[in-house]
Chain A
Amino acid sequence: MNRKERFARIKHLYSRAAFGISYLTADKLSRQNYRKVIDSLIKAPEIPDEIRLQSEQENLRLQQQQQELNAKKEQTEAEKEQKKEYLRLRNEKNQQLNLAWLDKLMHSGYPLHEKMTLFWHGHFACRHETTFFAQQLNNVQRRHALGNFKTLLTEVSKTPAMLLYLNNQQNRKGRPNENFARELMELFTLGRGKYSEQDIKESARAFTGWMFNKDWVFEFNPKVHDSGTKTFFGKTGNFGGEDIIDMILARREAADFIAGKVYLFFVNDVPNDAHIKELGGHFFDSGYDIAAMLQKLFTSDWFYEPANAGNKIKSPVELIVGLSRTFHTRYNDPKMLIRLQQNLGQYLFNPPNVAGWPGGRSWIDSSSLMLRMKIPSLVLNDGEIDFSGKADPEEEAAIAVNKAADPKKAKRKSFVNADPDWAAFSRDLPKNISPVELAGFLLQPRLNEKNTALLEDNKGLRSTAIEVVSMPEYQLC
Chain B
Amino acid sequence: MRRRDFLKNTALATAGAWMIPAFVKPLEALALDELTRHKNLVIVQFSGGNDGLNTVVPFGSDIYYQKRKNIAIKPEEVIRLNDMQGLNPNLSALQEIYDNGWMTVINSVGYPNPDRSHFRSMDIWQSGSDASQFLSTGWIGRYLDSNCQTCKYPYTAIEVDDALSLALKGTSKKGIALKDPAALFRNTNEPFFKRMISHEQEHLDENNLGYLYKTMAETASSASYIQNTSKIYQTRATYPSNGFGNQLKTVSRFICSGLQTRVYYVSMSGFDTHVNQIGQQGNLLRQYAESMNVFLKDLQGKNKLADTLVLTFSEFGRRVEQNASNGTDHGTANNILVFGGSLNRKGIFNEAPDLADLEAGDLKYKIDFREVYATVLHKWLDTENSQVLDRSFRTLDFI
Contact = CB atoms under 8 A, between A and B. Distances in A.
Contacts of A361: 208, 211
Given A393-B118, A393-B122, A404-B270, A365 B164 contact: yes
A313 B48 contact: no
Contacts of A471: 196
B208 A312 contact: yes
B383 interface: no
Contacts of A388: 162, 179
Given A367-B177, A396-B118, A404 B284 contact: yes
Contact of B136 (A311, A362, A473): A362
Interface in B196-218: 196, 199, 202-203, 207-209, 211-213, 215-216, 218
A366 B218 contact: yes
Interface string A328-350: 00000000000000110100001
B6 interface: no
Contacts of A311: 207-209
B272 A407 contact: no
Interface stretch (B21-29, B254-262, B274-282, B303-311): B274-282
Interface string B155-177: 00000011111100100001111
Given A182-B132, A353-B123, A362-B169, A400 B271 contact: yes
A353 B184 CA distance: 30
A470 interface: yes
Contact size class for B?
A: 35 or more
Contact of B48 (A182, A358, A393): A393
B177 A400 contact: no
B163 A450 contact: no
A133 to B, nearest CB: 14
A454 interface: yes
Given A269-B208, A475-B212, A396 B271 contact: yes
Given A367-B178, A368-B164, A353 B119 contact: yes
A204 interface: no
A450 B48 contact: no
A393 B280 contact: no
Interface stretch (A79-87, A111-119, A245-253, A416-424): A79-87
B252 interface: no
Given A394-B118, A399-B48, A407 B243 contact: yes
A467 interface: yes
A454 to B, nearest CB: 7
Contacts of B118: 393-394, 396
Nearest to A73: B324
22 contacts: A69-B324, A70-B323, A75-B324, A79-B325, A311-B207, A364-B211, A366-B219, A367-B176, A367-B178, A370-B219, A390-B269, A393-B118, A394-B117, A396-B269, A396-B271, A400-B274, A404-B270, A404-B280, A445-B209, A450-B202, A454-B195, A476-B209
Given A353-B123, A390-B267, A450-B202, 20 more contacts: A75-B325, A80-B275, A80-B325, A83-B274, A311-B208, A345-B163, A353-B119, A365-B175, A365-B177, A366-B174, A369-B219, A370-B187, A373-B216, A392-B119, A400-B275, A404-B280, A404-B284, A407-B242, A410-B243, A472-B209
